[in-house]
Amino acid sequence: MRSAFYTGTVVHARRHPAHAFEPRVRMYWLELDEIPMLVRDGLVSTRRFARRCFRRADHPGDAATPLDVAIRDLVEGRTGARPCGPIALLTQLRQLGVRFDPVSFFYCLSPSRDAIEAVVADVSNTPWGERHAYVLAPDAGAAAPGGAALDVSVRKAFHVSPFLGMDVAHRFRLSLPGETLDVAIDDVGSDGVRFAARLRLARRPFAEGRRGACAPLATLAGIYARALRIALLGAPFHPHPRRLAARPADAEEPVS
């Protein structure tokens, strides 16, 4: 079985006002072709209020379409190239009916698993309940700097935090998953990096994910506590840009 449990930390750091925190995080690595086996063996449930619940409707595409097909269609529609290797999902599973998963990553690996062909970053926002999928694919023949397996920048197209504006680019850097897994996301504006997130994880046996408290509830409580702290520090407030002209939904806006 290639599916696994990852545990580690995620660092959130902002420049103005200066503030950082580093909570622990628990995530699951689900090989999409293994999900039926995981459900059959009782390692994951499709019951809404289970300890570890996977629901197809929580992820991109029509719920009637197999998830791996939906992800391949999405990547092909945005990039023109259809992934042909295995796909795995890095996510926080729904627990006891609660889902709080700010971002899930679908890794489209090469057939030999030695490279990342594309990544779909499925981002959600709270409390608006919206989602946006960024499709991240390397330029043909381009090597990612600094040892990252994938290094892609795209214009921000989705409102997530009231303390971060839309006038930035997201820079995503992802390692090739193995015994460790690293993801870095920088929000880069005209004045440099305004916000940085670093996800550092270590692989564990899948069964270890059974231990611990309800992670989504703990994460959600921590997010709201930190939001209050940032507001008290005087961070500028950015309302949801509902009246802004919508960007095209079928293409990322690259950063040159």
Instruction: Kindly report, residue by residue over 124-162, the tens digit of the pLDDT.
Output: 887 777 889 999 998 754 555 555 799 999 999 887 776
| Least reliable range by pLDDT among 58-62, 201-205, 235-239 | 235-239
pLDDT above 70: residue 209? yes
What is the pLDDT at residue 214?
Answer: 56
Measured CA to CA, the distance from residue 150 to residue 119 in angstroms comes to 9
Average pLDDT, the chain: 85
Within 10 Å of residue 201's Cβ, how many Cβ atoms?
A: 24
Q: What is the largest CA-CA distance in the chain?
A: 51
Q: Enter the tokens of residue 29.
A: 């690595």
What DSSP string runs through 76-129?
A: HHHHS----S-EEEEEPPBBTTB---SEEEEEEE-TTSSSEEEEEEEEE-TTT-
Structure confidence by residue, pLDDT tens digits, 75-95: 999 999 999 999 999 999 988
pTM of the entire structure? 0.86
CB–CB of 86/109 below 8 Å?
yes
At residue 174, what are phi and psi to the nearest 5 degrees?
-130, 140
30 or 129, higher pLDDT: 30
Region 163-173: mean pLDDT is 87
Among 48-52, 64-68, 232-236, which is the least confidently predicted range? 232-236
Q: Is 37 helix (H, G, I), strand (E, B) or coil?
A: helix
